[in-house]
Structure 1
């Protein structure tokens, strides 16, 4: 009985992490289908119904792929970089409130915690690019780091304006304050700036210069392959989902007006009578 709180905490983290990884997997499929539609292609449509299981096929291929590392690379830092980036990308989800009390850790400095964690993930990119002992990977890591730091200042400034309205660094308080009106209405210019900065922060087109596709390389991930490439891949899309959730919390009322929350409130009111 003494270990039951510890076991419950471990189960919560496991369920949370697996759910996030599944969401990230299907986001990759959604992006590939969207890009295919824009380019008048079919996209993934073989594995599973309408190609929905394509992400699992890609993950299996990368897990079974033979790993090749540069002979002159710093192997320890070469492996540590992707792990650091993935860990700090997933740590940001621990303070996200999906409903009243539905968060792993709902403390008063949630916004400050998110800013700190997102900043630390930059070190993984630097380590990966430098330790590969490749000029393409090193230049890619410098480009990516410069872009992340530059647009992070824009995101931080926009978030500070929201904090001035709420008077709190808590994400839950930020959501509850928007019961009267969403912040996107009084802060529409700030929302547009934040949205553009979010696209740059997640390396989406047209801000995907860090990958240097014109040079036919993958930026800081040029020398990475197989399993450790999966870490970078998951970290990138986990950051995309996290920034989308953050936009919803800061400007679109968060969980207040979600269909699931409305259904739960309706059921509670029904049984209260």
Structure 2
């Protein structure tokens, strides 16, 4: 529909692509902003529920406008950059932290007909951008010229690079069955063969744990351990730039859960093959979108549950858990998946 709108505006293919990209980017950015505001509110409510508190309940009915008030507060705060900071890199870092996970949503199939572009190498594209987001954190720590920021950035770099290894190895176990790098084709494969979590439950567990660590979420939030590093890599940031790092973290969470849903939980497919609407209809698209969002919301709740249940690991425990537990288990699991897929497919 958006492509038809772009075609009606101009006949030039290049301009059509620009208009299509601009409209899709605006929609994704707007939806992500609303989702991030909702997630922050829900996380504060979930943490309050787990700790027998009320949570935000002052601004608006039942505190629903608290996130709007916090956003206005951060935007109005003074943008402070100390004299010794590398100003260009200091300003560039939050932009990279937001842009990398945001751009990855371009290839996410939210439903059968809801996808900006279907790359044949969509999985490679997503993981390349998630790896690129490490640069934003590293640049932020380096450009701040602050020992705590630099230590937090180095921790983040070591953590994110390390946990990408078991995550990708777990992904290879899924590829043994699907034999495609297209996210859309991965969901279509599960439509006829069942959800991948049934064949690869260990891959699902390893992938989700590693994805949680990739997002720097507790209990893996060593990069901003307040008792050790003040606020980690964003110690020197304030106002809108601090909000951009916060925004990027929650967008990365949504991206990680979306990829997990696509790879293991059938994407937009309903459980048990339940299909009340004709394939290709608008209602079928809405039906698929509902199930995709529901699955992502459940995984986001699990991430919040992790944060407010498990204690933060030490840096040595964090790295030992990755290199001595997750990576060996993921390699053994990959061998089992390869043998199992060969046996099933004959």
**Which TM-score bucket, shorter chain as reference?**
over 0.9
1:137-176, aligned counterparts within 5 Å? 137-176=149-188
From 228, 236, 240, the equivalent of 1:215 is 228
From 11, 29, 50, the equivalent of 1:2 is 11
2:334 is matched with: none
Supply the distance in 2 between the matched residues of 1:268 and 1:89 (Cα, whole angstroms): 30
Instruction: Give the Å deviation of 1:55.
Output: 1.6
- Rate the CA distance shift 1:170–1:79 in 2: closer, same or farther, 3 A: same
Supply the distance in 1 between the matched residues of 2:280 and 2:231 (Cα, whole angstroms): 50
Instruction: Give the Å deviation of 1:206.
Output: 1.0
Q: CA RMSD in A?
A: 2.0
1:199 matches 2:208: no
Query: Retained in 1: the 8 A contact 2:110–2:268?
Result: yes
Q: Which moved more, 1:117-126 or 1:156-165?
A: 156-165
- 2:111 partner SS: coil
1:1-273, aligned counterparts within 5 Å? 1-2=10-11, 5=16, 6-179=18-191, 180-215=193-228, 217-257=230-270, 262=275, 265=278, 268=281
Supply the distance in 1 between the matched residues of 2:195 and 2:208 (Cα, whole angstroms): 16
Q: TM-score with structure 1 length normalisation?
A: 0.92
Supply the distance in 2 between the matched residues of 1:49 and 1:251 (Cα, whole angstroms): 38
Q: TM-score with structure 2 length normalisation?
A: 0.73
Count of residues in correspondence between the two structures: 268
Instruction: Give the Å deviation of 1:268.
Output: 4.1
Render the CA deviation track for 1:219-272: whole Å, top value 9, x for unaligned.
Answer: 0010000011111011000000111111111110001118xx9565389499xx
Supply the distance in 2 between the matched residues of 1:266 and 1:169 (Cα, whole angstroms): 24
- 1:101 partner SS: coil
Instruction: Give the Å deviation of 1:93.
Output: 0.5
Supply the distance in 1 between the matched residues of 2:134 and 2:263 (Cα, whole angstroms): 23
Render the CA deviation track for 1:171-194: whole Å, top value 9, x for unaligned.
Answer: 001101111311111111111111
Structure 2 residue ranges without an equivalent (≥5): 1-9, 284-346
Instruction: Give the Å deviation of 1:101.
Output: 3.1
Supply the distance in 2 between the matched residues of 1:269 and 1:114 (Cα, whole angstroms): 27
Instruction: Give the Å deviation of 1:120.
Output: 0.5
Structure 1 residue ranges without an equivalent (≥5): none
Render the CA deviation track for 1:132-153: whole Å, top value 9, x for unaligned.
Answer: 0100000000011111111111
- 1:138 partner SS: helix
Supply the distance in 2 between the matched residues of 1:8 and 1:172 (Cα, whole angstroms): 20
